[in-house]
């Protein structure tokens, strides 16, 4: 259970948002909406513990994420705007290393299977720098297939993806929710996800 209590974000002298409250239970999705510059990414970074809220508290299973951070990070996958991939490494190496960093050491076979599933068959051994924008995004998202975490925090996961890939990711998200996972995401695209509980959080 992820909870935000009276969160506020201040950038310089401007207050981006205040008194943001939400609670996210197993199997539900929180969609953060708002125009550009309304603080969506700032909120997501806060939820990851990358920055501190100006006021308020974020709780994971009733405990502030500040105190039990190791346990929290073990159940969290964050995919942000930045890819976290290395241009000089191949798709396979990138996936293996980024999942190892997240605490999931996977074999080459598992990594290849994940890359094929996400539509990168035949591109596993190419350096990421020769891949297209959408393909790079797929390399990043392949981590969702191999890292068995409960909470996914996704910042614009659908950017640069083609229709087929968007469908693939939507399926993946639905599956994750059905298995009792939790998702916090931002997107400007209309999403069509079948889930028991979708909460919208509007920032303005």
Partner 1 sequence: MFFWIIKRDLLLAMRRRSDVLTTLFFFVIVVSLFPLSVGPEMNLLRTMAPGVVWVAALLASMLSLGRMFANDYIDGTLEQMLVSPQSLSMLVLGKVIAHWLVTGVPLVLMAPVLGIQYDLPGDALLVLTAALLLGTPVLSLIGAIGAALTLGLRGGGVLVSLLVLPLYIPVLIFGAGAVEANMSGIAFDAHLSLIGAFLLVSGVFAPWAAASSLRVSLE
Q: Shortest distance, CB of residue 72 to partner 1, whole angstroms?
A: 8
Please list every residue from 39 through 58 that binds partner 1, using CB under 8 A: 48-52
Stretch that binds partner 1, among 53-61, 77-85, 117-125, 179-187 (CB under 8 A): 77-85
The per-residue b/e assignment along 134-167, b for 16 or more CB within 10 angstroms, e otherwise, is: ebbbbbbbbbbbbbebbbbbbbbbbeebeeebbe
Distances in whole angstroms, Cα of residue 80 to Cα of each of 5, 19, 187, 204: 23, 24, 12, 21
Interface with partner 1: number of residues (CB under 8 A): 29
* 132 lies in the binding site for partner 1 (CB under 8 A): no
Which residue in the set 43, 91, 93, 203 belongs to the binding site for partner 1 (CB under 8 A)?
93
d(C-alpha 167, C-alpha 35), whole Å: 24
**Contact indicator for 203, 33 with CB cutoff of 8 Å:** yes
Stretch that binds partner 1, among 26-34, 74-82, 170-178, 195-203 (CB under 8 A): 74-82
Residue 200: other Cβ atoms inside 10 A:
10
x-marked contacts with partner 1 along 96-115 as a string, rule CB under 8 A: -xx-xxxx-x----------
Q: Which residues of this chain interact with partner 1, rule CB under 8 A?
A: 48-52, 70-71, 73-74, 76, 78, 80-89, 93, 97-98, 100-103, 105
């Amino acid at each position: 259970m992820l909870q935000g209590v009276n969160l506020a974000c201040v950038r310089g002298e401007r207050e981006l948002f205040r008194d943001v409250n939400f609670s996210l239970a197993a199997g539900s999705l929180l969609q953060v909406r708002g125009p550009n510059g309304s603080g969506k990414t700032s909120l997501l970074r806060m939820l990851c513990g990358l920055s501190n809220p100006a006021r308020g508290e974020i709780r994971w299973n009733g405990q502030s994420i500040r105190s039990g951070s190791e346990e929290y990070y073990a159940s969290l996958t964050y995919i942000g705007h930045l890819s976290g991939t290395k241009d000089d490494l191949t798709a396979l190496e990138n996936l293996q290393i980024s999942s190892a960093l997240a605490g999931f050491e996977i074999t080459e076979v598992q990594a290849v299977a994940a890359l094929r599933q996400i539509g990168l068959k035949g591109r596993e051994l190419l350096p990421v720098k020769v891949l297209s924008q959408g393909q790079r995004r797929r390399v990043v998202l392949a981590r969702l297939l191999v890292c068995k975490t409960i909470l996914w925090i996704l910042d614009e996961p659908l950017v640069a993806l083609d229709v087929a890939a968007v469908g693939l990711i939507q399926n993946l998200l639905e599956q994750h929710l059905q298995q009792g996972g939790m998702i916090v995401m931002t997107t400007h695209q209309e999403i069509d996800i079948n889930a028991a509980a979708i909460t919208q959080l509007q920032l303005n």
